[in-house]
Copies of this chain bind each other. A is one copy, B any other.
Amino acid sequence: MATALKGNIAVGQSGGPTAVINSSLAGVIEEARKHSEITGVYGMWHGIQGFLKEELIDLYAQPAEIVQGLKRTPSAALGSCRYKLKDGDYERILNLFKQYNIRYFHYIGGNDSQDTSNRISKMAQEQGYELRVIGVPKTIDNDLSATDHCPGYGSVARYIAVSTQEMGKDTEAIGLVDNVKILEAMGRNAGWITAAAMLGKKDEDDPPHLIYVPERPITWDGFLGDVQRVYDRLGYCVIVVCEGLTDADTGEPITASASAVDVDSFGHKQMGGVADTLCKEIAARLKIKARYDKPGTIQRMSMALASTVDLEEACMIGAQAVREAVSGKTDFMVSFVRESNDPYRCGTGLVPLSDAALAEKKLPSDYINEAGNFPTERFAEYARPLIGGPLPEYVKLKRVWVPGGGRR
């Protein structure tokens, strides 16, 4: 047991908000109260950027119902930022830590946030200032390599799975008119979110029919051929694509490589969204009507579709970060370690901060089919426990045709 280190916690939220990052914040606050050496919890207003202006919220001053409410409130209650620290900033941060007697630092965020934590921790060590730094992972993209999954991912995965079921049912009904529907999912360079679109599919002909992820760049002929084949078979086609999809031939983002892409008045190609570009190309080259849905930030904020597993784990990992720090650990990020898949059980581990910010974790190759147009069952086994219970069971009418009619 380490010596009790008396002082305050500084906690901040960084990067894109999620449905559960406030649940992690609640976990930090609730756990801190259990330890007498934690004299206060200071919330960095808009992350490290607000901290540099000494904008700190007193989190012990929050009523219990607000702390409870954080567990069901999406977005980042402290405000977020995407601020890359400059050289002089580190010195100033450390001085402020001393000034406010901050002895514990928990930054809730992705790659960049863990890197920031690491640098602050190293500087404190160089200067002999005792500081315990335990990072808390957060990113819907699920691209941190050092953890089984990231808080925030399960919820956006559930959102995409359910929304694909629902917009797929829309196209099943009205596909005679709106033939091709594309849903554009977030995820930048990794297909974790996009792949979750498969989780509500039961039968071969159910939507979605095609799913494309950045790990497998597309060729135009391949993509258009896929779409034509589904359309010829069913009369409609439902596709889910990642915003970061690229062109296999050029290596460029899809938006920059299409033939039907817009050109602005200076002759420069206009970067539209991926789905928009794919729709234009389908219309131009296949003469098939195509429309898209782009839920954008709604997908990472939806509380109605948040995963209960994700909400609980996010709170738990925030609390765990405090426990680890109080017990004397520093220079780590808390990670998830899956202990069992069926039944699902997940514990936590510790990853050195210097490793936490390493390479982006992408979909492994056996999570994507050979044709590069659909995830595999192995991906589904990985993702299913994270989305928090079964998906909605929507009914279909039994095809009992009236005798004498056109269908027998």
Within 8 A of B (CB), among A246-274: 260, 262-265, 270, 272-273
Q: Write the A185-200 contact mask toward B (1 if CB under 8 angstroms, else 0).
A: 0000000000000000
CB-defined contacts of A88 to chain B, threshold 8 Å: none
A interface, over-half SS: loop
Q: Which stretch from A74-82, A215-223, A344-352, A370-378 is at the chain B interface?
A: A74-82
CA distance A31 to B72 in the complex (A): 40
Is A366 an interface residue, CB under 8 A from the partner? no
Copies of chain A in the complex? 2
Query: Would you give the shortest CB distance from A180 to chain B, in whole angstroms?
Result: 12
Is A66 an interface residue, CB under 8 A from the partner? yes
CA distance A57 to B407 in the complex (A): 9
Contact: A392 with B303, CB < 8 Å?
A: yes
Q: Which stretch from A159-167, A226-234, A322-330, A357-365 is at the chain B interface?
A: A159-167
In chain B, what residue has the closest Cβ to A162? B304
CA distance A55 to B300 in the complex (A): 42
Is A281 an interface residue, CB under 8 A from the partner? no
Contact: A176 with B49, CB < 8 Å?
A: yes
CB-defined contacts of A301 to chain B, threshold 8 Å: 163, 166-167, 169-170
Query: Would you give the shortest CB distance from A126 to chain B, in whole angstroms?
Result: 26
Contact: B396 with A77, CB < 8 Å?
A: yes
Query: Would you give the shortest CB distance from A86 to chain B, in whole angstroms?
Result: 16
CA distance A77 to B169 in the complex (A): 9
Contact: A58 with B400, CB < 8 Å?
A: yes
CA distance A78 to B291 in the complex (A): 22
The 6 A-B residue pairs with the shortest CB-CB distance, nearest first, are A293-B296, A262-B262, A69-B395, A75-B169, A166-B301, A54-B406
In the complex, 9 of the A-B residue pairs with CB atoms within 8 angstroms, ordered by the A residue number, are A17-B174, A43-B397, A56-B407, A66-B398, A75-B166, A75-B172, A272-B276, A291-B297, A304-B304
